[in-house]
Amino acid sequence: MGDIQFILDTVAPVFCIIALGYFLRKVGLITPQFITLSSKIVFSVSLPVLIFLEVSEIDLQEVFDLKVILFVYLGYLILFGLVWLISLPLAREGRDRGVFIQGAFRSNFAIIGLAIIANLFGKEGLASGSLLLGFLVPVFNVLSVVALTVPKHTGRIISWGKIGLEILKNPLIIAVIVALPFSLIHLQLNSLVKTTADYVASIALPLALLGIGGSLRIRDIPSASGLAVTAALLKLIFFPVIFTTAAYLIGIRDVELGVVFILTASPTAIASFIMAEAMDCNGKLAGHIVLISTLGSILTITFGLFLLMSWGLLPA
């Protein structure tokens, strides 16, 4: 009973803020313009500052685990190939197939994942998750472009140089790169800068969660296709079980195991909808996958964490 109460105290506040965002939009206090602008602030300013602070203050020798990073890289490549094979008989249209593939593998780890990790494991888990996020952003971006481009057979050539430039310009990548020297040689920020940065970082996750809630369209659930439901089930149940089991079998334990689970169990990233729209794919399908996976993750993440903790696989 104590485990489930602890998990509810950890996970429920994250989804309560999402619910608050949904309610505020329904009563008109959150508008589409607010969601757009707040998302830009989170992505370009507050979340990079949060990641910079967490990475700059860690001891890399203690947090950096090459085995975990290599496992996640290899795992996502295998997962990507697997979901592509699964999509072949399910999604005949290229515009649908790319969205299905992206929706089944791309995780909202940067927002929902880090928020849960921060509540569950504190600064140690948040630092580990932030560092892992820095390594994962390029993988997510490249695989998403491949998924949304190749199945359409439009004949357009993928510009890898442009993709590489966009990755290097990504604020989250820049935050990790800038933070590494601070961590390696133990540089300290000026107290004024540190306090200001703490204020900026503190708004990142709550503001992002409000935006997620404000963007949800619950009324769209009845019209969601079986393709959206299947992608969400793969995202929330099938792949987290495979990933977490494999991680345990190769010796990943405690906080790192929890981070791996939350990484794969987090719902589909909202960025998948934005990319689908921008690349002329099925944006409606992408939106349905985000919606179903976000709502479903309330149960699947809670239940998954409860099982892992009751089996003694996570630190209490």
In this prediction, residue 168 carries a pLDDT of: 78
Task: Tell me the HSE value of 226 on the side-chain side, using a 13 A CA sphere.
Answer: 3
Contact 85, 270 (CB under 8 A): no
Tell whether pTM > 0.75: yes
In this prediction, residue 267 carries a pLDDT of: 97
In this prediction, residue 1 carries a pLDDT of: 54
Contact 271, 306 (CB under 8 A): no
Contact 237, 58 (CB under 8 A): no
For 29, which DSSP code?
S
Amino acid at 310: S
pLDDT in tens, 211-255: 999 999 888 888 888 999 999 999 999 999 999 999 999 999 999
In this prediction, residue 53 carries a pLDDT of: 93
Residue by residue, pLDDT tens for the chain (316 residues) are: 567 888 889 999 999 999 999 999 999 999 999 988 998 899 899 999 999 999 898 887 777 788 999 999 999 999 999 999 999 999 988 889 999 999 999 999 999 999 999 999 998 899 899 999 988 988 898 899 889 888 875 555 666 677 677 777 888 889 989 998 998 888 889 999 999 999 999 999 999 999 999 999 888 888 888 999 999 999 999 999 999 999 999 999 999 999 999 999 999 998 898 888 878 889 999 999 999 999 999 999 999 999 999 999 998 6
The CA distance from 149 to 154, in Å, is 8
Instruction: Identify the residue whose tokens are 């932030």.
Output: 130
In this prediction, residue 221 carries a pLDDT of: 85
In this prediction, residue 244 carries a pLDDT of: 97
Contact 210, 24 (CB under 8 A): yes
Residue 227's closest CA among 274, 287, 294? 287
85 burial class (0-12, 13-18, 19+ CB within 10 angstroms)?
exposed
